Amino acid sequence: MKVIYSESHLGHDPQFFVVRGQIRWSNEQPEHATTLLKAAERDRHAVVPVGDFGAAPRAAVHSARYLHFLETVFDRWSEPDDASSDEVVPNIHPFSGEPCTYPEHLVGQVGFHLGDMACAVGLATWEAATGAAYCATHAAELVMAGERAAYALCRPPGHHGYVERANSFCYLNNTATAAQHLRRQHARVAVLDIDVHHGNGT
Ligand SMILES: [Zn+2]
């Protein structure tokens, strides 16, 4: 089987994570993908370098303001006084399931778009997230061109990502991006999610 892989995830190395009130090192690390890559190579699957599909596939499933936020927030994170120089992490959550106006202040936008404490944004997060979404798009392209199956080796993961909210280590929803891309050719697309909270995000 063809395995689509992007090295762009390697710089995404999140550190900050809060679980049950305790600050922990994020366990969503580059080794997740490199371990899978080694296994694919060992079993002689053909590793294909990812293509660049532009902004359209991600824009088909995410809002424009969220994509702009995710692309620019690390650079803008120098705006608030005393902001961390390492990673962007929310400290308020104005969304909270209730209707609210879109925050004007960056700290409010961080809380609006980063849904929990497992999706810190670092210097290389945007590049990694877009690379993973390209892997998913590339796999969908191969299937539309006649491959029986293709494996998108995506990191960061994506299936918990919402239309305009990162969630649980996910930023761009790779699954939804592939499914929406397949809909260019197929009227109906099935998604099988083996995680315990099937459908969350996707
Ligand atoms: Zn999960």
CB 74 within 8 A of CB 123: yes
192 part of a folded domain: no
CA of 158 to the centre of ligand 1 (A): 10
Res 30: pLDDT: 97
Q: Would the CA dihedral through 125, 10, 24, 36 be positive or negative?
A: positive
The range of the structural domain enclosing residue 29 comes to 2-182
111 part of a folded domain: yes
Q: What is the CATH number of the domain that holds 54?
A: 3.40.800.20
Number of domains in the chain: 1
Q: How many CB atoms lie within 10 A of CB 107?
A: 17
188 part of a folded domain: no
CA of 146 to the centre of ligand 1 (A): 31
Res 97: pLDDT: 64
201 part of a folded domain: no
Q: How many residues in the chain?
A: 202
198 part of a folded domain: no
196 part of a folded domain: no
Strands (E) in 2-72, as ranges, are: 2-5, 16-19, 22-25, 46-49
Which segments in the chain show pLDDT lower than 70? 95-97, 198-199
Tens of pLDDT, residue by residue over 8-40, are 999 999 999 999 999 998 889 999 999 999 999
Asked about 12 being catalytic, the answer comes back as no
Give the C-alpha separation, 36 to 88, whole Å: 28
Across the strands, what pairs with 4?
Answer: 48, 152
pTM of the model: 0.94
Residue from 9, 159, 160, 181 carrying the catalytic annotation: 160
Res 202: pLDDT: 84
Tens of pLDDT, residue by residue over 174-184, are 999 999 999 99
15 part of a folded domain: yes
- Rounded to 10 degrees, what is the CA torsion of 142, 71, 113, 101? -120
